[in-house]
Structure 1
């Protein structure tokens, strides 16, 4: 795969951004990365414009410190409290992130799908996982060692910008979810959660939510009871906003719930 070469000005700009990014994430002395363990990584994909970079294909060329792993549905990828030394990229499937309180109450803090990263808190220096990651469907993920990711961010500014853009978008989503929880009714929160799960705004066509998505799971995402979820799901179905067809098929008209006052 080839693409147009970046101008020298663009390359310099990307390099500057990559150095800034590495200063944010790095907690290791650069001199400790000896050449024997770290063969210099140069990839043709680093010459591509940002929008043409496929992280999955890019990471496949890195080699050492990268591992493809498969997880069956409901398998734990990592648990709250585990040592935090790697991050992950989802090639296929859906993963939920959960947190359990000291009193045993579990909350779902996010559901991720293909092309999402997770476990990136290791890049901020956290020694232990603050959430658990569990496969909601059969999943294929790429596990990336922290020190390998640091090296990639240093030497491949286009990938570094792609990763930073992802983190910024994730931060926006977290802020929106917090405002949603504070300001909106449970009906609107459920509608928003369903639209996000169906990849509206990302996919052109409606996407079937994973088969087996229970109302208990939706209730945990929204922060309400199963009875309220059941009530609103029936209401949405009667209004023609969604259908049950081997899963939950979301129609674009569900967005009207978010606009109603």
Structure 2
């Protein structure tokens, strides 16, 4: 099991943490939990991909993130017992997770002080992601945000090299980049014309990752 955030733990603590969890599998499009549900568990994503989405005040759905294997979600459930889920998480393909309940995690914290480091690393990563999204939303041009999302997703769905396929629609990419569908389409078509990517129905294929990364800076 490759969960980078577990690397901060010693072998014994890591083993106990994994054994305390339960394996759960989800099929494509199955909801892991809904926005507003009670927050009682942390999920470690072993295989597959999930999307994190919220409902806007206008009633629309906005996708906040796509996560791949090695990621975690539902971290805030470990801190508070009275806060509902802030977003809906759904499987984009076949997914396997390790689920840790809050009471299990609390017991482990008492038995193994090193588990607190695990929690600190989780929350630090969560805060870093929020900071980066805020900075990008305020200071990075929308076209570059779209290309940066393509690069990030190419590393989530592969190693980012030529030939990596991102099986997501342009509508999803637009939501992730905080862009409109029209602007996202224009940006992607320009990149395709330059030979950086290939566009197909519901997917993007990486052709020139080096130049793509240079253009996204």
Q: Does TM-score exceed 0.5, indicating one fold?
A: yes
Q: In structure 2, how many angstroms separate the alpha carbons of the residues matched to 1:199 and 1:160?
A: 29
Q: Indicate yes or no: 2:189 matched with 1:234.
A: yes
Query: RMSD of the alignment, in Å?
Result: 2.8
Q: 4+ residue stretches of structure 1 with deviation over 4 A? A: 202-207, 244-247
Q: Deviations over 1:219-255 (max 9, x none)?
A: 1111222121111111112222223589433313211
CA contact (8 A) 1:197 1:209 kept: no
User: How far off is 1:159 after superposition?
Assistant: 4.6
Q: Deviations over 1:195-214 (max 9, x none)?
A: 221228x9474683542x00
- 104-113 vs 234-243, which moves further: 234-243
User: How far off is 1:84 after superposition?
Assistant: 1.0
Residue 61 of structure 1 aligns to a residue whose secondary structure is: helix
Relative distance call for 1:210 and 1:257 in structure 2 (3 A) is closer
Correspondences of 1:174-253 after superposition (within 5 Å): 174-199=130-155, 203=159, 205=161, 208-211=164-167, 213-244=168-199, 247-250=203-206, 251-253=209-211
CA contact (8 A) 2:166 2:205 kept: no
User: How far off is 1:137 after superposition?
Assistant: 1.5
Structure 2, unmatched stretches of 5+, are 1-7
Q: Deviations over 1:61-89 (max 9, x none)?
A: 23xxx221111111111001111111111
> Residue 119 of structure 1 corresponds to which residue in structure 2?
74
TM-score by length of structure 1 reads 0.69
> Residue 3 of structure 2 corresponds to which residue in structure 1?
none
> Residue 38 of structure 2 corresponds to which residue in structure 1?
83
Structure 1, unmatched stretches of 5+, are 1-13, 19-43, 48-54
Q: Which has the higher strand share?
A: 2
Q: Indicate yes or no: 2:38 matched with 1:93.
A: no
TM-score by length of structure 2 reads 0.82
Relative distance call for 1:158 and 1:46 in structure 2 (3 A) is farther
User: How far off is 1:46 after superposition?
Assistant: 2.7
Relative distance call for 1:169 and 1:127 in structure 2 (3 A) is closer
Q: Deviations over 1:101-155 (max 9, x none)?
A: 2331211112111111101111221431111111111111111101112223343
Relative distance call for 1:208 and 1:163 in structure 2 (3 A) is farther
